[in-house]
Structure 1
Amino acid sequence: MDDPRLQAEGEVSLARLALDDGDVTHAAEHVAAALVFEPGLPEAHELLARLSGAPDGGAGLFPMEEPVFLGTVLARAHLLAARGEHAEALDLLVSAQAHEMGGRWAHVPWVLDPELASRIDPDTLCSLIGSLAAVMPDPLPEGEREPLAPYVQLVRHAVRLYPDHPMLLWAGSMLVRRAGEPGEAAGLAERSYRLEPSMQAAIAAGYAYRNLERWPEAERALVRALEHDPGNLYLHTDIGELLHRAGRLDDGLAWVERALRRDPAHESAFPTARGMRFERDGDVRHLVELANYLREHPGNEHADSVLAVHSAPRDWLGRAPAASEAVVNLLYQVLEKAGDAPATGEAFLSAPEPPSALLAFARVLPGYSIEIQDVPAPDARLTVPEVFEKGAVRSVGRRVWHFEGTRAVPVVPPPSPEAARAVAALAESPWRHLPGAYDQAVRLSALPLDDLLGVLVHPPECPFDRPEVWPQWLRQVQAWACFGIAHHRPDQPWAESDRRRVLIDLAYGPEDWITEAALAALVATAWVNPEARGDVAELVGWRFMAAAEAATTRPVTILDSLRALVLATPDMHPDLRRLAAPAPAPPPERPRSRWRRLFRRR
């Protein structure tokens, strides 16, 4: 039943039986289903022709009543085309394509017919081509272009038939560009502009040159488009983004800021400017401003996309960072050498490492034993107030680990199966950005606090059949559990809340991956709750300083992660941001000769 053609043939068989019984309604339903499985199946189209000629047949068998079935749209389109109503038929097919872009809905004889373009008024054709182009990705991934090939051919036939129709040329340019033919698209747009200069033709040319990475021509075309509408702030933003892609960030930002001087909250320019500014100086303040804007304009998909794009590659903004502990590196080495064979052995660590790292190791390699040889000061097993005299936190009440010598043992019971499944469902993917993670974690708000604490040290099984991903899986689980804790008792004011107290206890407890996860939840809270920002900046800052002081006498494996959290925290003190920022890379060595330049590493 996984074969679409077999499923379509089954539906055709049922349609024939229904038709033999005189039940045209049920026959029509089965034919419509067959067309969804196999749009070009000849037997389905033969039955459709029989239904068209039946006494109670015709397009009325496929009513467009909401909610309408996709197969009903396809069947009605084919019946209308058979009656010569090609414009309405193509309109329906385009709507089906927009609904499910990967369907081969247009791979049918009447669409592939080179004469189709002559059967539709060119202005109507322009409208249909433009409406499809508007919902296509730009460009379509190469492996997804084949279903759209009939529309590209339709454009080519139409252009040959109406070579002097300016609107058809630029509308066709938009479609073929998205279908992966930017060179052809540029030619169509330029022809359109020569015939009748217009903003649309210039924009189409600019985008085609952009996809070709012919930056000067793209810039000239978009500036030419702006001459037709000087107040168009979307075009200002597009030019800025184009120059940015061309490697001219400052020039691009100048264009976007020109738009902001006219409209400081413009829905396109504001997000783009914040993203560019963040890329220029790395100051998270720009992304926080964008998150503030997104809360006030929740439907702005461009703002959400810009925030996601700039968050994705940054530790804690878009993902939990990779583990760097020696025991995790050992885990990878053992797995690489052992292959599928069970691994046993004994290893020695010169100092304690985060209990969660040892937990991940034990889950993957239960036959290995780890011995810790020394405990340098300050003792990583103790809470921060016990080893760090300064700071805003003077005591830690709640703990999830207890140490028996150097061995960490969970002190909270395992979570309920329902809670484990709920956290695991979120942990399978990274988050788009911190505000998005906070919002998604509201799904965990109804879980008991004890369950969320239990997940931290009794993680659910990893759903991926690759043991080497266990460390990252555990880090994701712990992050999402702490994001869930950030929603515990949301009715309580932040300063006196249980959720704040619990996250502080976890963050200032023994040095662990849970420390990072709890701080990440505090930072996410600060992103969405401006009233918490000063408090969170102080908590994150002091925890980082405690780790930095400890690192002067012993390794602190989570220090780089804490640096990333400092840089991600809204309203963090500038001195701490400078302390946490990575050291600037040394300038590249000046090449001594032409040969050195030719053979430099990329």
Structure 2
Amino acid sequence: MTEAHEGTADPRLEAEGELSMARLALDGGDLRHAADHVATAITFAPALPEIHELLAHLARHPQGGADLFPMDERVYLGTVVCRGHVLASLGDRAEAVRLLVSAQCHSPGHAWADVPWMYDPGLGAALPPEAVCDAIGRLLGVAGDPVPEAERAAFAPFLSLVRSAIAAHPGHAMLLWSASILVRRLGDTDAAVELALRSARIEPSAFAAVALGTAYRAQGRWAQAEQAWRQALDLEPDNLAVHTDMAEMLAEAGRPEDGLAWVEAALRKEPDHPSAFPTACVLRFGRDGDLAHLVALADHLRARPDNAHAAGALARAAHGIPWVGRYVGPTEAVVNMLHQSLESVDGTGTPELTVALYAPEPPSALLAFVRALPGSDITVGDIQPPDPRYTVPEVFGGDRLEPVRRRLWDFDGTAPRPNVAPPSASAAETMRDLALRTWQHPVHAYDEGVRLAGLGLTDLLGVLVHPPEPPMDEPGVWPDWIRLVQIWACLGLTHYEADRPWHGSVRRRALVDLAFGPEDWVTEAALFALVALAWTHPDDRADIAGLVTDRFHAAVEAAGSRPVTILDSIAHLVLATPEVEERVRAFAREVLAEE
């Protein structure tokens, strides 16, 4: 099924324009082209009465009917919707509903069925209850749990159909428990409980018990939910999905250990169960805070990318965790001064300031300040060793650290200047379009970074110190904008010549150079890119854990004699890195506690 034409400023005007073309074709006796224009019009305004008037005319026309909207191999969405409405007007409401359900599943956010005949109280009686159950099952495959408030109106016609079917078939147990699930997702938990109870009284089943337990859970009635799911397991002892439901409900009710016992019992029967394993990982993480559980979940998801339960569980668990579900924001004094100065002018302009820093701060922080407040001047006081302007191997020496071959920053005294050329205009625009994207977890960040795989190494390095203008005209966004540009550029580097082995690759060399170069926000961005690689490439985890550990130790050593503004961020990166030794992780937690 191909997509509808969308993206216009006024969909109704587009629909009316297509209807005008349809009438012209109809006046010329060309029903086929008239039908094509109506099919296009309905994708812009599915409920427009004029469309349905013309559809009714095409349905009654001697050369018309449903064949004007054929179900070819690559059928157009508007054709499916029109065929459904034509069939309904010709009396074949079962097939009409099936087609509208198909359209709804293909594009759930549109009200394809919002027409009077779908609200006919007699519609449910005209359809076999099995057909309604099938429709509910397909809709549940695309409906959120729960359906967001803004999207519920699109499902209203189908909810009307379900209610009329229940009135016509009050003793159909499957229809009742199926309806219970749908109405619960659409926000009516009282009706969901009542329907599930009716189904269980007519024909006790695990399906009815599960629907009842889920409805009770939505109401926060934990004891009743547990009782219902125990009844489900009495009927189907090996239903491991119910074990998972029970575990999540008990955790939500404040009994995580009891919940973990349920999924662990399920895993003893099926160690890699698609529902129980993700839930177990999340509950274990909630118990001890060890990100290794979420890494295990990411490994599970990588092997089973279609596991929606695993994907949702990982996203929810990672949410808000520094450098796992979000980036760590800037903390430098110069950034604080930037925001304070912008607040003081109350939006009346951007001041030009002279700022004296008693110690050096990351070059990217200074760049953010002068890009936000052009004409400002920054001076830096004495530099305490170890000198942040030099690369880590230069400062600390020794054979354990790899030499840095690429330096993004050079310095005129204490004033930083880019040491690489600006990116091409097309690369800057590509980055500008991408940089505001967020990620759910490191695997998602790595996958999204592939959008930059087409950029060359020179462009990816150039954009780190020559960031494009942000899409919003607000000076205060510059610090976070630069950080995001740098993060995504480094994620793009993880895909540079990705077909080459990691060891000895240009992408590894480049990321190591950035991570161990002059102390900067780029350091954090490169380390995060390494973290994302570790989450997605188990064979490279030991190497990356060693790199992150070395950079952390260097930051800690430097912090013994001078401020290191990125130290707490690097400590969070340590905690986000798979296979870092526990003693190093414990040290990172101590650093964060002190900070």
Q: Normalising by structure 1, what TM-score?
A: 0.93
Q: Residues 259-408 of structure 1: matches in 2 within 5 Å?
A: 259-338=266-345, 339-388=347-396, 392-393=400-401, 395-408=403-416
Conservation of the 8 A alpha-carbon contact between 2:59 and 2:90: no
Change in Cα spacing, 1:376 to 1:264, as seen in structure 2 (3 Å) is same
Structure-1 residue corresponding to 2:210: 203
Conservation of the 8 A alpha-carbon contact between 1:97 and 1:103: yes
* Residue 446 of structure 1, CA deviation: 4.2
RMSD: 2.1
* Residue 69 of structure 1, CA deviation: 1.7
Task: State the one-letter code of the partner of 2:462.
Answer: G
Structure-2 residue corresponding to 1:164: 171
- Does residue 556 in structure 1 map to residue 564 in structure 2? yes
Conservation of the 8 A alpha-carbon contact between 1:392 and 1:538: no
Distance in 2, Cα, partners of 1:441 & 1:89: 43
Structure-1 residue corresponding to 2:472: 464
Structure-1 residue corresponding to 2:485: 477
Conservation of the 8 A alpha-carbon contact between 2:556 and 2:567: yes
- Does residue 154 in structure 1 map to residue 124 in structure 2? no
Distance in 2, Cα, partners of 1:583 & 1:198: 55
- Does residue 508 in structure 1 map to residue 524 in structure 2? no
Structure-1 residue corresponding to 2:458: 450
Change in Cα spacing, 1:227 to 1:78, as seen in structure 2 (3 Å) is same
**1:71 aligned to 78, 91, 100, which one?**
78
Distance in 2, Cα, partners of 1:453 & 1:425: 17
* Residue 407 of structure 1, CA deviation: 0.4
Structure-1 residue corresponding to 2:525: 517
Tell me the secondary structure at the aligned position of residue 355 of structure 2: strand
- Does residue 194 in structure 1 map to residue 201 in structure 2? yes
Conservation of the 8 A alpha-carbon contact between 1:130 and 1:172: no
Change in Cα spacing, 1:10 to 1:344, as seen in structure 2 (3 Å) is same
Conservation of the 8 A alpha-carbon contact between 2:423 and 2:466: yes
Change in Cα spacing, 1:11 to 1:449, as seen in structure 2 (3 Å) is closer
Distance in 1, Cα, partners of 2:514 & 2:11: 52
Q: Extract unaligned runs of 5+ from structure 1.
A: 587-602
Moved more, 186-195 or 281-290: 281-290
Q: Give aligned-pair identity as a percent.
A: 55
**2:576 aligned to 561, 568, 577, which one?**
568
- Does residue 441 in structure 1 map to residue 449 in structure 2? yes
Moved over 6 A (4+): 583-586
Aligned residues: 586
* Residue 376 of structure 1, CA deviation: 2.3
Moved more, 563-572 or 43-52: 43-52
Structure-2 residue corresponding to 1:430: 438
Conservation of the 8 A alpha-carbon contact between 1:307 and 1:433: yes
* Residue 506 of structure 1, CA deviation: 1.6
Q: Residues 238-249 of structure 1: matches in 2 within 5 Å?
A: 238-249=245-256
* Residue 242 of structure 1, CA deviation: 1.5
Distance in 1, Cα, partners of 2:496 & 2:16: 54
Change in Cα spacing, 1:211 to 1:466, as seen in structure 2 (3 Å) is farther
Distance in 1, Cα, partners of 2:446 & 2:172: 51
Distance in 2, Cα, partners of 1:392 & 1:184: 67
Conservation of the 8 A alpha-carbon contact between 1:391 and 1:542: no
Distance in 2, Cα, partners of 1:432 & 1:386: 36
**2:90 aligned to 83, 90, 95, which one?**
83
Structure-2 residue corresponding to 1:4: 11
Q: Per-residue CA shift, 1:262-317, capped at 9, x if unaligned?
A: 11111222222112212222212112222222333233233233222222312222
Tell me the secondary structure at the aligned position of residue 356 of structure 2: strand
Distance in 2, Cα, partners of 1:232 & 1:554: 59
**2:242 aligned to 235, 246, 268, which one?**
235
Tell me the secondary structure at the aligned position of residue 197 of structure 1: coil
* Residue 389 of structure 1, CA deviation: 5.0
Distance in 1, Cα, partners of 2:84 & 2:501: 58
Distance in 1, Cα, partners of 2:437 & 2:445: 11
Distance in 2, Cα, partners of 1:397 & 1:188: 69
Q: Normalising by structure 2, what TM-score?
A: 0.94
Distance in 1, Cα, partners of 2:209 & 2:590: 44
Conservation of the 8 A alpha-carbon contact between 1:384 and 1:510: yes
**1:52 aligned to 48, 59, 81, which one?**
59
* Residue 390 of structure 1, CA deviation: 6.0
Moved more, 306-315 or 383-392: 383-392
Tell me the secondary structure at the aligned position of residue 360 of structure 2: coil
**2:539 aligned to 528, 531, 535, which one?**
531
Distance in 2, Cα, partners of 1:583 & 1:220: 46
Distance in 2, Cα, partners of 1:256 & 1:368: 59
Q: Per-residue CA shift, 1:93-115, capped at 9, x if unaligned?
A: 11122222222222212111112
Q: Extract unaligned runs of 5+ from structure 2.
A: 1-7
Structure-2 residue corresponding to 1:544: 552
Distance in 2, Cα, partners of 1:138 & 1:561: 35
* Residue 45 of structure 1, CA deviation: 2.0
Tell me the secondary structure at the aligned position of residue 13 of structure 2: helix
* Residue 583 of structure 1, CA deviation: 7.7
Structure-2 residue corresponding to 1:589: none
* Residue 84 of structure 1, CA deviation: 1.6
Conservation of the 8 A alpha-carbon contact between 2:571 and 2:591: no
Distance in 1, Cα, partners of 2:222 & 2:474: 44
Structure-2 residue corresponding to 1:41: 48
